[in-house]
Amino acid sequence: MPDYSELIEVLRAVIRDELKPVNERLDRLEQGQKQLEQGQKQLELRLDKVELRLDKMELRLDRMERDISSIKTELRYVWEDIKRLDKRLTVQEERAAR
């Protein structure tokens, strides 16, 4: 009658030897996954910073657009004043010439 415990030990050793490369590969894959997760976290942090900067830039751009609109309006008033002054000066010059 064969000794089952010896047979079981031999089978365990064979299975362990066969699974060793699989386990090593799995360990490498898990390590690679951890590195990818760390890289992703760093990218997410950088993206958060970029999004914050973009939000600030959009606020500044909105303010600049309002300022430009205000400047254009005031410049229009300035040109209207210049035209009125030019007209008055022309009238004054015409009166002085008579």
Tell me: pLDDT of 3 over 70: yes
| CA 32/CA 63 separation, integer angstroms | 47
pLDDT score for 4: 87
Tell me: pLDDT of 74 over 90: yes
What's the average model confidence in pLDDT over 46-63? Answer: 98
Question: What integer best gives the mean pLDDT of the chain?
Answer: 95
Of 96 and 34, more confident: 34
Query: Tokens 């973009």 map to which residue?
Result: 54
What's the average model confidence in pLDDT over 6-12? Answer: 92
pTM over 0.75: no
